[in-house]
A = this chain, B = another copy of it.
Amino acid sequence: MAPTVVFRQVAMLGDSITQQSWGDGGTGAALANAYQRKLDVLNRGLSGYNTAWALPVAQQWLPKTTDSLPETALLIIWFGANDAALPPSPQALTIEEFKANLHTLISLVRSPTSPHYSPSTKILLITPPPVDAEVRGADLMARDPPRVPDRDAERTRQFAEAVKEVGKEAEIPAVDAWSRINEAAERDGGLTKYLNDGLHLTAEGYKLVTVGVSEAIHEFISELHWDHIEQTFPHWADIPNLGALGPQFLAPDSRLV
């Protein structure tokens, strides 16, 4: 009996910006579309979570070395938007805590003593996008009950810098979503085109991040760019020339892991 063909996976771990990125024009949906018949792209976004809360989740989501689960070929980590919340928000962390948590997340798959050790897993970091603290504050004040402003543009910039520092320290590529969106906003006269509530991304905002992710994979993890992965199973027009149809059009041992 031929073994089950298992698709390797891209797991996208992050906050609401990741969770919502499966909407029209979102980066998660765009990656899933690009990786058709190549890799399964999984939404592991957790609205409102910071890195401290994501850690125990990741410890339960990531396959363990003792599992027979599909391999995580690419782990995308996109946090900071909530970690950068201002005290007294329960989401607020210090930059030092944030950086330590990112390093811990990375060590889950990188450390040989971790139960999730997976030396074949590549990692990509994404910085939080910029915030428009005024728009975000107005959005919160308009809620019932009203909430006090909880974000600051400069603080989020520092958390974006922290992601890049962790990337350098761990030798992991980081997509600078903060700079890409901020520079586009400076050209276009503001963040409104890219942020819909001062914090979350519009389809235009996601598009800038998607381009950054594509470029980073192409440059640093080239073997995992969708352009460099063969589609599973033969092209339909080749099938009539393969001889008798059946499971033999995939060799029994061609497990995709």
Contacts and interface: CB of A to CB of B under 8 A. Distances in A.
Interface string A127-167: 00000000000000000000000000000000000000000
A228 interface: no
B245 A52 contact: yes
Contact of A37 (B46, B82, B236): B46
Interface residues of A, number: 55
B24 A24 contact: yes
A59 interface: yes
A57 B234 CA distance: 10
Interface stretch (A104-112, A179-187, A246-254): A246-254
How many copies of this kind of chain does the complex include?
2
Nearest to A239: B53
Contacts of A40: 40, 42-43
Interface stretch (A63-71, A117-125, A218-226): A63-71
Interface stretch (A25-33, A168-176, A189-197): A25-33
Interface of A: 1-7, 19, 22-25, 29, 32-33, 36-37, 40, 42-43, 45-49, 52-53, 56-57, 59-64, 67-70, 82, 90-91, 115, 233, 235-237, 239-240, 245-250
